[in-house]
Amino acid sequence: MFGLIGHLTSLEHAQAVARDLGYPEYADQDLEFWCSAPPQVVDDITVTSATGQVIHGKYVESCFLPEMLAKRRAKAAIRKILNAMSHAQKNGINISALGGFSSIIFETFNLENMPQVRNVTLDFQRFTTGNTHTAYIICRQLEGVAKQLNLELAKTTVAVVGATGDIGSAVCRWINDRTDVADLLLVARNRERLEALQTELGRGKIMDVADALPQADVIIWVASMAKGMEINGETLRNPCVLIDGGYPKNLSTQVQRPGIHVLNGGIVEHSLDINWKIMQIVNMDVPSRQLFACFAESMLLEFEKWYTNFSWGRNQITLAKMEQIGGASVKHGFNPLLLSL
């Protein structure tokens, strides 16, 4: 059985979802309430692959909210993730994806050193960040969108915002090795990590976000931000493609200008038969046909019986593993979401 450990994008979102799911007593509660709410299994899921194989899974809502980080409630955030992992393990789940901020909290606060959750010793082999599949899908989105818009990658400048992160560094490795992108702009805050990445790649221009945006034809957003950034669409190139892989979204601005194309990053379209309720409320444009790539990774591991923490640690994603999970992704019927032109 596979698991998806998810969270909602804001307190407002959580209140609306509680109302929709028929928990009116949660709907008017404040952040304090969510800090003490226990994890819940909110959905049982059946998935039929394009190959006809059938698997079963559960969706575990951790009750973590990004405001817990913004308001420095780190202990609450840590408790949410550990409790959700323990809950998944107690429910007999073989492999669970740590969706959105769950894996970021796990890494940032070194939760590997805290395997004991009351009477449960966490078996980390049962969890995956899902980041290898997410990075693979974002790279395929870049390649696919370039084809859709007749952009020649050899003449294209790509900026990666969050370049030194787990997903961002993998995307940079792929761009460097598997494409002929003309220029690669590396954006993040910590200079030392940016320089280490630049040395590893043997290329890339280090820039801050304000300088990079006007120079890029494609901007890949994979920064871990609790709240989206506002950007001025007027400063962007025309045409310009924004692939926003953040959860919550890195961009709070609705950039609506002819020639500016915005694509949800790290999202797969699929032809699988997925029987679940929860996707109706997790902000997908077409809930029955779209899914987070990190969640799809735990389904792929279950389909292939690769019961291992396939994506683990930070900045360990190799091109070989991206290709391996990519092969399984294609086999079972997942495709990168592209622009609807």
Q: How far is the CB of 239 from ligand NDP (least distance, A)?
A: 23
Site for ligand NDP in 197-226 (CB under 6 A): 209, 222-225
Using Cβ positions, the residue closest to ligand NDP within the complex turns out to be: 165
| Residue 161 in contact with ligand NDP, rule: CB under 6 A | yes
| Residue 190 in contact with ligand NDP, rule: CB under 6 A | yes
Q: How far is the CB of 221 from ligand NDP (least distance, A)?
A: 8
Site for ligand NDP in 246-305 (CB under 6 A): 246-247, 266, 292-294
Nearest CA to 209 out of 240, 173, 239, 250 is that of: 250
Q: Which stretch binds ligand NDP (CB under 6 A): 52-60, 85-93, 150-158, 159-167?
A: 159-167
Site for ligand NDP in 45-74 (CB under 6 A): none
Whether the Cβ atoms of residue 334 and residue 301 lie closer than 8 Å to each other: no
Whether the Cβ atoms of residue 239 and residue 149 lie closer than 8 Å to each other: yes
Give the one residue of 3, 39, 100, 204 binding ligand NDP; rule: CB under 6 A. 100
3-state secondary structure 50-105: CCCCEEEEEEEECCCCCHHHHCCCHHHHHHHHHHHHHHHHHCCCCEEEECCHHHHH
Q: How far is the CB of 155 from ligand NDP (least distance, A)?
A: 26
Whether the Cβ atoms of residue 216 and residue 157 lie closer than 8 Å to each other: yes
Rounded to whole angstroms, the Cα distance separating 12 from 318 reads 37
Query: Which residue is listed with tokens 């082999």?
Result: 125
| Residue 156 in contact with ligand NDP, rule: CB under 6 A | no
Residue 279 makes CB contacts below 8 A (sequence gap 6+) with: 287, 288, 290, 291
Binding site for ligand NDP (CB under 6 A): 100-101, 103-104, 130-131, 134, 161-168, 187-190, 193, 209, 222-225, 245-247, 266, 292-294, 314
